[in-house]
Structure 1
Amino acid sequence: MEKKPITIIGMPMDLGQGRRGVDMGPSAIRYASAQRLLEQLGYEVEDIGDLPVPSPESIQIGEPKLKYLSAIRQVCEHLADTVSSVVERKRFPLVFGGDHSMSIGTIAGVSRHYENLGLIWFDAHGDLNTGETSPSGNIHGMSLAVSLGTGHTDLVRIGGYFPKVRPEHTVIIGARELDPGERTLIKEMGIKVFTMHEIDRIGMARVMEEAISIVSRGTDGVHLSLDLDGLDPKDAPGVGTPVPGGITYRESHLAMEMLAEAGIITSAEFVEVNPILDRENQTAKVAVALIGSVFGMKIL
């Protein structure tokens, strides 16, 4: 990967999901020495700090099927503008989260600069619900649908245009818990999903070869959105929605190493680190190790 200068953005978002604590995720990742590792790999790194996010106690929850909709929209608009300004300065935006609803803003900011953005969604979940299909009303389970142009208009139209990405340029890796509405949308849109079944059956190397081929075909940039719950809870216990039987630590590194070798990633976010549910900052340390791999760190 080209050693483009990196800008770290903290996004302490905890409005999009039901379990508190992910607002401390950016601090945990920083504490695990993310910036120092990137600098050791030869990158010039700046950290512009955390963007402001209101606490859930200070605002109204609003519509139960779209909890904190107004606040999430405002925060994501701010994040989109911030990410866009980083890209304009010819720097690589690296966003630390925070719950996965923040990706609505990250992708909105990045996609302003790419005609056909590719997207790798590394996650145990599809995040393809809408207000009509969501069992919980938590917007972190709707963020990919929004980026694909499906969902509430206040979220879909952030940045003034939609969709931000197309289904044929999108790949989900590691899915193992999908709601009925998400399964329907996957089939309707034709989104490529590598579930844990495919990873078990054909191996991570082949999955990544196919995923890289899909997101590289006809695209001019690729965003990586990595939810730490994509990993097995034994390796990443500090997440809000853990699902057993996930991607192993070593499989995750292989995936990131192959992305580094392909040199296709133009922006990235690492989300859903929850220190309250963690053990000795283990999940943040895993996040930093994976960041190292995607930016070119090798064993030998």
Structure 2
Amino acid sequence: MSWSAFCVLFDPDEGRDSIQRKVQDLIKGTRPANPYRAVLDSQEVAGLDIIDCGEVQIESWLSIYPVQEDLFMLTSTNFGIFLDSDGCREYRERVRDFVKGLERPLMIGGDHSLTGGVVEALMERYEDFYLIVFDSHFDGIPSPVRNGLIGYMSETRPDYERFGYKPSDYVFSSTGRKNSYNGGSFLYHLINEGVIKAENIVVFGPLDYPTEKMEKIQDYRVREFVQVYKGLEKEGVKIVHRGIIDALGPDEAINMCISPKLRTGRAYVSVDLDIGSRSALMGAKFTDICGIKEADIYIALEGLRRNISSIIGLDLMEIDPWRAGVEIDGLKDRTYSICGNIIRILTEGKICLERRYKDVLEKISTKKTLKEIEDKESLNELVKMGFAGLSGKYVSLLYKGEILFF
């Protein structure tokens, strides 16, 4: 079955850095590459059956491409009002209506709240529907609760890794936030509105899962965060947090997600690109945390494809077009290549890599010592990407999946 691809360049980010980049683009007359076009034009999806279905229309000031006439709208106050007034819900509904006419949706876009629109549309078609989310954060926390936690973190300056993000990752409001539908809370609202049952949701990879130390903190703001998080887990949301992935490996960790019902059901896969932030790519909205390596993303996705009877849709969200695909510290970011490979592996169980890696991977499969590998530059890149591992003077092949070279 072909993919019905579309884009939604929706970006209501109230963060100062995001706003400044848009303002600077308007002043300079520049704009970042269109992430939708960059993914569909990538070598990694060449030859796949993908139908270009266009884009969902977005008001200029809420998109990654604001027009000059909307410059005055680009303020934290305006974005905050939009978010607190449940503005993201309107765009969820636009996506829902757009997807109703698509067979196997492939959404490429910005704010993760849009996933709710696809879920709502597909839930009307299928009773055996499951949502599988790859994300370094759990997007099931109501805004007032998350705002409270950010306030606590700002006051106490704890080790942010305990919480999975820094206070600066979110805009704190001393007057509180409304309980609105948005990118950080959409799972909570989908469950509470009865759109999807908690037991039909899997979240793979969150770093913000409450630790034992966190559960011992008595501050009411932390306790409320823990209660909501663990409460949704008790309701049935399957959470495979980062600690489990690091302990078991991506293949075994993903197998924990696949219940007998999911195995025979229909799965929609939603990928927040921060699942690989810093470790695999830099083109994600959140880069203050380290996600899993590129090869581990593919291993987990192939485990899904291999063990689930039907994958009926996919989205690639929270792409940062100002960093995606650009050269950073002398290396070209791989965000769009990884997006293309995610589509390919869920289509046919294969990925694509540049031909220069072929000889090195073949040698690694037969030779065991570091000195036997001549192309040290490519080897180091493959180690960083998670395809190969080093232990002292020994080298090993970590990725056993099928690779096409171009």
Percent identity of the aligned residues? 20
1:38 Cα deviation after fit: 4.2
Specify which of 93, 117, 120 is matched with residue 129 of structure 2. 117
Measured in 2, the distance between the counterparts of 1:197 and 1:208 equals: 13
Describe the shift of the 1:211–1:48 C-alpha distance in structure 2 as closer, same or farther (beyond 3 A).
Answer: same
1:63 Cα deviation after fit: 9.4
Secondary structure at the counterpart of residue 108 of structure 2: strand
Measured in 1, the distance between the counterparts of 2:74 and 2:270 equals: 28
Q: Does 1:254 align with 2:333?
A: no
1:127 Cα deviation after fit: 0.5
Secondary structure at the counterpart of residue 260 of structure 1: helix
Task: Quote the residue 1:20 is aligned against.
Answer: 18
User: Residues 106-185 of structure 1 correspond to what in structure 2 (within 5 A)?
Assistant: 106-135=118-147, 136=171, 139-149=182-192, 162-178=193-209, 179-180=225-226, 182-185=228-231
Task: Quote the residue 2:4 is aligned against.
Answer: 7
Is residue 25–residue 284 contact of structure 1 (8 Å, CA) maintained in 2?
no
User: Residues 44-59 of structure 1 correspond to what in structure 2 (within 5 A)?
Assistant: 45-54=50-59, 55-56=61-62, 58=73
Secondary structure at the counterpart of residue 127 of structure 2: coil
Is residue 199–residue 236 contact of structure 2 (8 Å, CA) maintained in 1?
yes
Measured in 2, the distance between the counterparts of 1:116 and 1:59 equals: 42
Q: Does 1:30 align with 2:61?
A: no
Measured in 1, the distance between the counterparts of 2:311 and 2:32 equals: 22
Q: Which runs of 5+ in 2 are unaligned?
A: 23-30, 63-69, 148-170, 172-176, 210-224, 327-332, 351-401
Higher relative contact order (CA 8 A, sep 6+): 1
Task: Quote the residue 1:238 is aligned against.
Answer: 283
Describe the shift of the 1:30–1:258 C-alpha distance in structure 2 as closer, same or farther (beyond 3 A).
Answer: farther
Measured in 2, the distance between the counterparts of 1:214 and 1:145 equals: 24
Task: Quote the residue 1:155 is aligned against.
Answer: none
Is residue 229–residue 243 contact of structure 1 (8 Å, CA) maintained in 2?
no
Measured in 1, the distance between the counterparts of 2:81 and 2:231 equals: 18
Post-superposition Cα deviations, 1:179-203, rounded to whole Å, max 9, x if no partner, equal 5464243344232211111011111
Residue identity in the other structure for 1:221: R
Specify which of 101, 114, 122 is matched with residue 102 of structure 1. 114
Is residue 266–residue 312 contact of structure 2 (8 Å, CA) maintained in 1?
yes
Specify which of 211, 223, 242 is matched with residue 196 of structure 1. 242
Measured in 2, the distance between the counterparts of 1:242 and 1:32 equals: 20
Measured in 2, the distance between the counterparts of 1:180 and 1:33 equals: 40
Secondary structure at the counterpart of residue 225 of structure 1: strand
Measured in 2, the distance between the counterparts of 1:240 and 1:164 equals: 27
Task: Quote the residue 2:346 is aligned against.
Answer: 294
Specify which of 267, 271, 288 is matched with residue 222 of structure 1. 267
Is residue 119–residue 215 contact of structure 1 (8 Å, CA) maintained in 2?
no
Describe the shift of the 1:101–1:94 C-alpha distance in structure 2 as closer, same or farther (beyond 3 A).
Answer: same
Measured in 2, the distance between the counterparts of 1:242 and 1:73 equals: 26
Is residue 275–residue 291 contact of structure 2 (8 Å, CA) maintained in 1?
yes
Residue identity in the other structure for 2:262: S
Secondary structure at the counterpart of residue 267 of structure 1: strand
Secondary structure at the counterpart of residue 103 of structure 1: helix
Deviates more, 1:278-287 or 1:104-113: 278-287
Specify which of 72, 75, 81 is matched with residue 88 of structure 2. 72
Is residue 225–residue 269 contact of structure 1 (8 Å, CA) maintained in 2?
yes
* Count of matched residue positions in the alignment of Structure 1 and Structure 2: 278
Task: Quote the residue 1:266 is aligned against.
Answer: 312
Measured in 1, the distance between the counterparts of 2:14 and 2:346 equals: 27
Please provide the CA RMSD for this pair: 3.0
Secondary structure at the counterpart of residue 133 of structure 2: strand
Deviates more, 1:194-203 or 1:50-59: 50-59
1:264 Cα deviation after fit: 2.6
1:271 Cα deviation after fit: 0.3
Secondary structure at the counterpart of residue 133 of structure 1: helix
Describe the shift of the 1:59–1:274 C-alpha distance in structure 2 as closer, same or farther (beyond 3 A).
Answer: closer
Q: TM-score, normalised by structure 1?
A: 0.81
